[in-house]
Copies of this chain bind each other. A is one copy, B any other.
Amino acid sequence: MHEIRIGEDIRGKNREIAEENRNLLKKHDVFSLNLMSAPGAGKTSLLEKTLPRLMQRYRVAVIEGDLQTSRDAERVRAHGALVLQIETGDVCHLDAAMIHSALHQIDLDAIDILCIENVGNLVCPAEFELGVDGRVMLLSITEGDDKPKKYPLMFIESRLLILNKVDLLPHVDFDIGRARREAREMNPAIDIIEISCKTGEGIDAWIDWIEKFYRQSGGR
């Protein structure tokens, strides 16, 4: 009982700070996405495919969340984006306060789009709002088609589900129809895009999705 109350206090406080983040980003006309997935589903690889395309038209910053190491930050930085690294230590998710501190280190008037790469974890990142325009989750098809009902909150809270590594479909037992159907049972409004960061399949659809959502959110 005690633990649960602490949990709700922490999440309530997190929501307040997320709201501050939302207002701050809005004030500076920054469009923002929070990328979430299990470890190794391909968030960093997706950013590596995304940045060269987005940076042709927009000024982009990335916040990288990791328990340890700045490996992902270095991979992303190599593409010329402004990158801020948050090492969470033993904390299994980013929270709104971490993002708030990071935002104060970025010249928000100098960027159009902020991409946040959350810690690899299919559970807790879904519980902590960061104050972004939209949450995007990746599911690698190697993780299995049974995940929507096993990790429902992540699917419920996301606006877009990206099914990654579809190049491996011939080699694994993954029923795309089942994954799509169960994701929609969890969240009827969720968009779904199939991609492969390896072959480039679906990257156009993902860039289109970002640009459409950006315009809907008042972006240019």
Contacts and interface: CB of A to CB of B under 8 A. Distances in A.
Interface of A: 3, 6, 10, 38-41, 66-69, 71-72, 90, 92, 119-124, 127, 140, 142-144, 146-147, 149-153, 165, 167-168, 171-172
Nearest to A13: B3
A172 B165 CA distance: 10
Contact of A38 (B38, B66, B68, B90): B38
Contact of A68 (B92, B119, B142, B149): B149
A172 B172 CA distance: 12
Contacts of A143: 38-41
A190 B151 CA distance: 30
Contact of A122 (B120, B146, B167): B120
B168 A142 contact: yes
A127 B121 CA distance: 15
B71 A146 contact: yes
A145 to B, nearest CB: 10
24 contacts: A38-B38, A38-B40, A38-B120, A39-B143, A39-B147, A40-B142, A40-B143, A40-B147, A66-B150, A69-B149, A71-B146, A71-B149, A72-B150, A90-B127, A90-B153, A92-B121, A92-B124, A120-B122, A120-B150, A121-B123, A140-B142, A142-B142, A142-B168, A168-B171
